[in-house]
Amino acid sequence: MEYAERLSNVTVLGAAGKMGSGILLLTALEAADQMLKPGNREKHFVVNAVDVTSSALPELMKYIRTQVLKAAEKKTVLLRKLYADRKELIENSDIIDAYIDDVMGIIRPGTRIEAAYDSTLIFEAVSENAELKARLFRQIDENNAHKPWFFTNTSSVPIGGLDKEAGLEGRILGFHFYNPPAVQKLVELITIASNSGEMKEFALQLAKNMRKVIVPSNDIAGFIGNGHFMRDALYGINQATALAKEMPLHEAIYAVNRISQDFLIRPMGIFQLIDYVGVDVVRFIMKVMNPYMANEDLHSPLLDRLFDLGVKGGQYADGSQKDGFLKYEKGRPVSVYNPDKGEYIPIVTFGSQVEAWLGELPGSAPAWKNLVKAPDKETLAAIAFDNYKTMGTHGALLALQYARRSREIGMKLVSDGVAATAEDVNTVLLTGFFHAYGPINDFVV
């Protein structure tokens, strides 16, 4: 089956979710672009947007329409060529409208799994539940005559297990987007030995057409992205717990968040990142990964505690941040949660005290947004870390320890065979997590 034919009937499962909606958008755009190629005009393309939450579908379609409009406005130069034979489409606005109609015409929203029975490709972005995923795959596969391919967006469940559970005989691979899929450049590609060469080639071509950076990962729970993130998060949580012997827990959380953001020159502190992903989601991913981890307990009692107290983080439908470890106003942290007291303590009441304890952030540590734009990022980061080595402040010491642990986690992913190279680990952190320098480097040692 050639590339365009494989895309002629696609189903996205969990299409109304955070990840599913982005995957739906990218898939529909790619299907439309195939449809508009001169040789494919007679072919019929369908992308089924399947989600159990019927009430979420109208919003989903609005989101897709807005995003397709933006995409069309960006590529009007190309679209004018693709629609050159449509005499009635003269102005850019005519062409953009026609493209939106064409993309929207491909998408069929619905709640019924049966839509996938005619599909040749199934993208799965349902909740991170191995049993549910396997059950859906099996049901679809048993009712689908096309021997479809299953691309799962799981960030943590091993692919080999799903393959076996659902009886797919190698017709499944991991195609893991980062949030939000429409923006984030990274896709982790997890293949298994029984995948056909044709399937792997198709996956690479699709990712390339979606303009993604592909990093291959071995089929080990958590892969590279969560393999690093979960351990990094656990380290940050444990660092805060340890610090809580010297200061109240909310101050310790604030301190570690500041170290992992400003001292480490990352886009977000570790607790803000946990909130962004969701306290509940991080806890859940650890739970999914933990059974596969030998000699390691990927589990945090503090996350359990927050979860039990109903403090979950994550995002509202409009993309704004829900309160988790931190409380946010206009996207900025203003208070820190203290589980002992069950309340948020305003940063203004203790922030300067913690900062005094940490010691001054040296001028050689640039803000992340400046570092990430600098042409000589690595050199600048190295200067900052060299400074930490001689400063002797709490902040500098904890930052060095944090960075060294992050490096160790990265190197273990290579030695465990999750990542093929140190460069792959760094690429995941640079593109998937927007770090300004890779964790595996020489200057934090």
Partner 1 sequence: MIAGYNTISMGTGRKEFNPKKERPGLEHYLKEAGQGTLQQIGGAGNVDEGVVGNFMAARFNKQAHLGAFLGMIDPQLRLKPSTRVEGACASGGLALVTGIKSVLSGSAEVVLALGVEVQNTVKAIYGADILAGAGWFQRRKEGHAYFFPGQFSDRAGVYFEKYGREKTRKAFARWYRNAVENARLCPTAQEYENKTADLEALALTEPNPKSFTDHLNVFDCSKVSDGASAIAIVTEEGLKRCGVAPNDAVEIAGIGHAADDLTALPADPARLDTVAHAVKIALESAGITAGDLATVETHDCFTIAGILGVEAIGLAPQGKGADFVLEGHTARDGKIPFNTTGGLIGWGHPTGATGVHQAVTIWEQLTGKAGAAQISIPAEKPYGLSINMGGDDRTVVAIVYKKSA
User: What is the binding site for partner 1 (CB under 8 A)?
Assistant: 73-80, 87, 89-93, 95-96
Residue 134 phi, psi (nearest 5): -60, -40
* Nearest to partner 1 of 79, 398 (CB atom): 79
Q: Are 166 and 138 in contact (CB under 8 A)?
A: yes
Q: How far is CA 93 from CA 62, 79, 88, 90, in A?
A: 19, 11, 12, 8
* Min CB(370)–partner 1 separation in Å: 15
For residue 70, give every residue at least 6 positions away whose Cβ sits within 8 Å of its Cβ, in sequence order, or none: none
* Nearest to partner 1 of 73, 169 (CB atom): 73
* Min CB(72)–partner 1 separation in Å: 9
* Nearest to partner 1 of 81, 108 (CB atom): 81
* Nearest to partner 1 of 95, 215 (CB atom): 95
Q: Nearest to residue 209, comparing CAs of 85, 13, 30? A: 30
* Min CB(93)–partner 1 separation in Å: 6
Tokens of 281: 């989601």
* Nearest to partner 1 of 44, 330 (CB atom): 330
Q: Nearest to residue 75, comparing CAs of 58, 112, 43, 100? A: 100
* Nearest to partner 1 of 71, 107 (CB atom): 71
* Min CB(101)–partner 1 separation in Å: 17
Where would I find the H helices in 51-195? 57-74, 76-82, 92-106, 130-143, 159-166
* Min CB(88)–partner 1 separation in Å: 9
* Nearest to partner 1 of 37, 108 (CB atom): 37
* Nearest to partner 1 of 98, 288 (CB atom): 98
* Nearest to partner 1 of 79, 162 (CB atom): 79
DSSP 367: -
* Nearest to partner 1 of 74, 135 (CB atom): 74
* Min CB(288)–partner 1 separation in Å: 40
DSSP 443: T
* Nearest-angstrom CA–CA distance, 439 and 229: 11
C-alpha of 383 from chain center? 30
DSSP 355: H
C-alpha of 315 from chain center? 14
* Nearest-angstrom CA–CA distance, 391 and 399: 11
User: CA angle 185-317-344, nearest 5°?
Assistant: 100
* Min CB(92)–partner 1 separation in Å: 5
Burial, 382: exposed, middle or buried (Cβ in 10 Å; 0-12, 13-18, 19+)? middle
Edge-to-edge strand ranges of the sheet holding 332-338: 326-329, 332-338, 343-346
Tokens of 275: 């909130």
* Token pair 């805060």: residue: 240
* Min CB(95)–partner 1 separation in Å: 8
* Min CB(308)–partner 1 separation in Å: 41
Burial 337-365 (b: 16+ CB within 10 A, else e): bbbeeeebbebeebbeebbeebbebbeeb
* Min CB(76)–partner 1 separation in Å: 4
* Min CB(185)–partner 1 separation in Å: 17
* Min CB(74)–partner 1 separation in Å: 8
* Nearest to partner 1 of 78, 356 (CB atom): 78
* Nearest-angstrom CA–CA distance, 108 and 15: 11
Q: How far is CA 256 from CA 230, 291, 437, in A?
A: 16, 28, 19
* Nearest to partner 1 of 36, 89 (CB atom): 89
